[in-house]
Chains A and B, each alone.
Chain A
């Protein structure tokens, strides 16, 4: 799944080096389309689970109501704010590299990765709290969906940290500049998508039951 985005980056780099497209703008457009295609498969990956959520929520409204009351709304809200902030830091990193400021870009990327780690830390606290209260993925359909959806999303957060970390390392080696930073833009797109999924997960699981 997420391993494709480094591929797309490689394609972008080759293109910029003159292997694929003669025109850098065209290379950027092609790489962007590639990433959006990948995101389309991601939408449908989560889409299957969202469909299951809709079907079972209609069938078992009481189970979903009682289940959502057991989730920590405050921790969920804090995590939502953390991801929103991490989207901003990635966006500001891209503004920085568009102006050729590599050190600013690296600082924003590190900040983003730290925010992502904070998100996962809170997720670990929430999971341990559920396990301590005897709630696990087999408890009922609501918690099956809760653990599947948040677990799959958590894997995407980890993948995002790896991708952003790789971009930070490449930036340190001087690979990106004002004129060429397609991989930075693509890793940002992927990270915003991870935020986007959580924007729907949070209200569906924590707020409406």
Chain B
């Protein structure tokens, strides 16, 4: 089991993830210099979420964790969505 884990998340994978994160950072910074209105916000958030997923899946090795750990990792995100959506449902339509 331990050798499988090592094999899947060894040095090469980590360096590849690092390179992808650097590349995505470059893209998001370049896009920010082009004025696209709300599309800028969408692109920035999508790229940030891809980067966050790469960090969580590989660096935080969520990819190899049990469903229980996945539950612990995803539940706070669900709560955050509820908090933001609930707050906006008030402040937007006051």
Contact = CB atoms under 8 A, between A and B. Distances in A.
B18 A88 contact: yes
Interface of A: 25, 29, 32-33, 36-37, 39-41, 43-44, 47-48, 50-51, 54-55, 58-59, 73, 77, 80-81, 84-85, 87-88, 90-92, 95, 98-99, 188-189, 192-193, 195-196, 199-200, 202-204, 206-208
The 5 A-B pairs of least Cβ separation, nearest first, read A40-B76, A203-B44, A207-B32, A43-B76, A36-B72
A54 B48 contact: no
Given A80-B25, A81-B22, A32 B40 contact: no
Contacts of B17: 88
Given A200-B48, A207-B29, A88 B75 contact: no
Interface of B: 1-2, 6, 9-11, 14-15, 17-18, 21-22, 25, 28-29, 32, 40-41, 44-45, 47-48, 51-52, 55-56, 58-60, 65-66, 68-69, 72-73, 75-77, 79-80, 83-84, 87-88, 91-92
A55 B22 contact: no
9 contacts: A33-B69, A39-B76, A43-B76, A43-B79, A51-B87, A55-B88, A91-B14, A196-B55, A199-B52
B25 A95 contact: no
Contacts of A88: 14-15, 17-18, 59
Contact of A192 (B6, B11, B60): B60
